[in-house]
Chains A and B, each alone.
Chain A
Amino acid sequence: MSWVDVGPVTALPERGARCLKVGSLAIAVFRTSTGAVFALRDQCPHRGGPLSQGIVHGTRVTCPLHDWVIDLATGCATGADEGSTPTYSVRVEEGRVLLELPAEALAKAS
């Protein structure tokens, strides 16, 4: 596992997300209204919708395809829906967003 700098935290829209492509892997990096940052695989557990394109509310995101609501901290579907998407460790240091990625993903990307 390695920590990767993916840019300044200000590059992430508040109550929004940006998508990050590492090889074939797409990761959604979210920023909530309170400034918390989360990262999930950019793939809804339902039909694979791009979560980075959803509406962010509290610490949740609503998938743009069929309105599944995914918890940003756990990657799990909420309400009566069942399923989850992988989460990635992420932290903010000196205004930079650092993301922990599996080494093999990085190897494939380079």
Chain B
Amino acid sequence: MKRQLVLVGNGMAGMRAIEELLTLAPELYDITVFGSEPHGNYNRILLSPVLAAEKTVADIMLHTREWYAENGIALHAGDEVVRIDRARRRVIAKSGFEAPYDRVILATGSNPIVLPLPGKDLPGVVTYRDIADVERMIAASREGKRAVVIGGGLLGLEAAYGLQRRGMGVTVVHLSSTLMERQLDAAAGALLKRSLEERGLEFVMPAQTARILGDERVRGIELADGREVPADLVVMAVGIRPNVALAKASGIACERGVLVNDTMQTFDPRIYAVGECVQHRGACYGLVAPLFEQAKVVANHLAEFGIGRYLGSQTSTKLKVTGIDLFSAGDFTGGAGTEELVFKDAARGVYKKLVVEDNKIKGAVLYGDTVDGAWYFQLMRDGIEINDFRENVLFGQAHVGDSGTSGADAVTLLPETAEICGCNGVCKGDIVKAITKKNLFTLDEVRAHTKASSSCGSCTGLVEQLLANTLGGDYSEAPAKKPMCPCTIYTHEEVRAAIARERLKSIPAVMRFLEWKAPDGCHKCRPALNFYLLCAWPGEYEDDKQSRFINERAHGNIQRDGTYSVVPRIWGGVTSAKELRAIADVAEKYAVPTIKVTGGQRIDLLGVKKEDLPSVWRDLNAAGFVSGHAYGKALRTVKTCVGKEWCRFGTQDSTRLGIRMERVMWGSWHPHKVKLAVSGCPRNCAEATIKDLGVVCVDSGYELHVGGNGGIKVRATDFLCKVATEEEVIEHACAFLQLYREEARYLERTAPWIERVGLSHVRERIVDDAAGRKRLYARFLDAQKHSQTDPWAERAAGLHAEEFAPLEPNVEPEPVS
């Protein structure tokens, strides 16, 4: 017999746990759900747009009654649970219905705080929490003219805005002199107040409400200073309190919320709790992201995986008032030992403040321009030191070594038809529609459903902003600890550390030790693991061909029609008449449709059929060419200018140096492609300052520049150091590449890696620590001993012939038996 699971509380947190459980272990439990509201599960975050007449109740349903029936879940909507009999293991509802249980999830959410004022029970006084409250407010807006909202926090302002959109005159009465004082400082609060006033809201603040006036029904409020404000509707929006009544009555330990451990179990281990009713390590949460993280852990534990732990969340806030951009996160009040970085442009209505402590962001308040909210939040959660880009940090990510255009426009001002994702042609309207219609909450979900931000990723900031604006105050980004892929709970760093520490030497060994969820992983983790193992155990690890992307298996780039491109290595971009003639002969012999000169000074033969690849390579080998690795997460090209051998401005022999470097480095595998360049003078004709590593020759030596990128986001290199000889160039360059491949995550180019770890870190390891640099250089050379075999020659000689030849069917069909 299946075990019995009872969910008390049919809201977002509890139902998310059920959904997660159904994907992990669909057959383990019979599930019964109790909810006090007479509905299916709806998206509480979107109540404000319903109030503001921007959405309907039907728009915000997450699980309809039919959904419960289809999934075999017994739903008791509108039947509140009154008691849990823990001795007899039964949940008892108001109707008298009893449900036996093996496990219970408490997800009773929170209650709005009702101020103990005289007149609080008068008709026309409401709180703001559920669909019934919204319906009461909408009805009141049809009859009455004036509303008072008590409380100028997030919920209060959204209620005020909604009522005003419904045609009421609205006054907000707020205790503090700053709106949303828990999320905003005084300056941002003042800007917010001004723009809400421009929208027609009135404010009385600081002011305390003394009583609610009225006999039959409410007619206004009286303030502590004696002033009266007339009202046909009074909304109390002064905060929420975890709903612990049931837990307390059932003898479960509570403080502010229901106390839980890191597996979300209460003091009775059969009873879990999740969501707003919970108190975990002293903190209560009211935002969606933490609740969803908790739900994952509960589901994981109920499914008996036993590996998920909840470690608490950092949260950020957004206000859901159409046309107002506002973001805050962390501790933004500052104090002893902290510094404040402030940007203020009142005319444009832009205000940004970062609170910094020990070179790290502790908190952020953004008003009017929130494009970089997600970035600051990331820097904050990851504890990144900002000293390397501090002078530009307030201007945003687009100004940190990167002149890309991503996130240049405030997303709220864009029309529905504005193209957000240029790779996949996805417009703002498509994304917003998908978020609301398909109930999406995370960046990954938006990527899966719309394809926006799923190719090059340069629009990620804009998509996150759209998510935040659409979901509003309760949205917060994915958890800080990001697993490698859905097959595992471990991050790239944790996996690499385990490979080294436990001396894991094959993909199955890694998957076994780290309890991979899918038996042979997926297209995301397998290539990453293959690279990590190759990097950790050079010469020892046996490359897993089936875990490489097709380009690295076929040693050519797959094209949109399924043919391949062939790029022979042309050392330093220097070739000869004989080589060119050989390439021309191959192109004619195999009827290559397109010949193209590449940006890296190579010649690309496009449109070669897969079965022809080995013979094309054999012919190129015969002319002295080897693979150019133009298909790999590997060293691609070293681009050079002609240098002092010919150029009247040249200061050093840049072509000779480029060729030398390429001879040392070719064949090396990396987390992503690596492109180098050597320019013979600061005129920089080889464009060395947008390469992963660029050498700029000067009269007195060689400048080394790192972390450039000419791709999705143009990023100029950072200056690393200057050296005197070619030998030093090669030592520094190899050490840099070794550090990159030991530390960067798979598919992370040098530019984002350096922005993540900081240039100071790279300088310390490569420039300041000479002994460490020599060790890195030695490890690079050692690995090269095992990687400098030409993959084309091996395959031209017959290695993996089955990869290139199609199957041959037996021409005589057998009769059907």
By a beta-carbon cutoff of 8 Å, the part of chain A in contact with chain B is: 1-7, 11, 13-16, 18-22, 29, 33, 47, 49-50, 53-58, 60, 62, 64-67, 69, 79-81, 98-99, 101, 106, 109-110
The contact sample of 24 A-B pairs, CB cut-off 8 A, is A2-B816, A3-B814, A4-B813, A7-B808, A11-B807, A16-B546, A19-B807, A20-B806, A20-B809, A22-B809, A47-B560, A50-B562, A53-B550, A57-B522, A58-B519, A58-B520, A64-B551, A65-B560, A69-B522, A69-B523, A80-B448, A99-B809, A109-B809, A110-B811
How many contacts A-B (CB < 8 Å)? 101
Q: Does any Cβ of A come within 8 Å of B526's Cβ?
A: yes
Measured in the bound complex, the distance between the Cα atoms of B550 and A49 in whole Å is 12
> Which 8 residue pairs are nearest across A and B when measured between Cβ atoms?
A62-B523, A2-B813, A5-B810, A80-B448, A55-B523, A53-B550, A20-B807, A15-B546
B549 touches A6 (CB 8 A): no
Q: Does any Cβ of A come within 8 Å of B449's Cβ?
A: yes
Q: Does any Cβ of A come within 8 Å of B737's Cβ?
A: no
Q: Which residue of A lies closest to B454 (CB)?
A: A67
785-803 of chain B: CB within 8 A of chain A: 802-803
By a beta-carbon cutoff of 8 Å, the part of chain B in contact with chain A is: 448-449, 455, 518-523, 526-527, 545-547, 549-551, 554, 558, 560, 562, 802-803, 806-811, 813-817
Measured in the bound complex, the distance between the Cα atoms of B527 and A22 in whole Å is 32
Q: Say how far A50's CB is from chain B's closest CB, in angstroms.
A: 4
Q: Which one, A1, A65, A99, contacts B558 given CB within 8 A?
A: A65
Q: Which residue of B lies closest to A22 (CB)?
A: B809
Measured in the bound complex, the distance between the Cα atoms of B522 and A33 in whole Å is 12
Chain A residue numbers with a CB within 8 Å of B562 are 49-50, 53
Q: Which one, A5, A19, A101, A110, contacts B806 given CB within 8 A?
A: A19
Chain A residue numbers with a CB within 8 Å of B808 are 6-7
Q: Which one, B448, B554, B807, B809, contacts A53 given CB within 8 A?
A: B554
A18 touches B813 (CB 8 A): no
B550 touches A18 (CB 8 A): no
Q: Say how far A47's CB is from chain B's closest CB, in angstroms.
A: 7
Q: Which residue of A lies closest to B518 (CB)?
A: A58
With A3-B814, A79-B448: A14-B546 Cβ-Cβ less than 8 Å: yes
B546 touches A56 (CB 8 A): yes
With A20-B806, A64-B558: A57-B523 Cβ-Cβ less than 8 Å: yes
Interface centre among B526, B546, B562, B807 (most CB of A within 10 A): B807
Chain B residue numbers with a CB within 8 Å of A20 are 806-807, 809
With A3-B816, A21-B806, A64-B550: A55-B558 Cβ-Cβ less than 8 Å: no
Interface centre among B521, B809, B817 (most CB of A within 10 A): B809
Q: Say how far B24's CB is from chain A's closest CB, in angstroms.
A: 16
Measured in the bound complex, the distance between the Cα atoms of B520 and A56 in whole Å is 9
Measured in the bound complex, the distance between the Cα atoms of B812 and A6 in whole Å is 11
Q: Which residue of A lies closest to B449 (CB)?
A: A80
Q: Which one, B518, B520, B554, B813, contacts A15 given CB within 8 A?
A: B520
Chain A residue numbers with a CB within 8 Å of B817 are 3
A5 touches B558 (CB 8 A): no
Interface centre among B545, B554, B810 (most CB of A within 10 A): B810
Chain B residue numbers with a CB within 8 Å of A4 are 809-810, 813-814
Q: Say how far A45's CB is from chain B's closest CB, in angstroms.
A: 14
Measured in the bound complex, the distance between the Cα atoms of B558 and A67 in whole Å is 13
Chain A residue numbers with a CB within 8 Å of B551 are 64
Additional pairs, 12, CB under 8 Å, beyond known A4-B810, A18-B806, A62-B523: A1-B816, A2-B815, A7-B807, A20-B807, A55-B522, A55-B547, A57-B518, A57-B526, A62-B522, A66-B455, A67-B523, A69-B523
Q: Which residue of A lies closest to B817 (CB)?
A: A3
Q: Which residue of A lies closest to B523 (CB)?
A: A62
Q: Which residue of A lies closest to B559 (CB)?
A: A65
B520 touches A57 (CB 8 A): yes
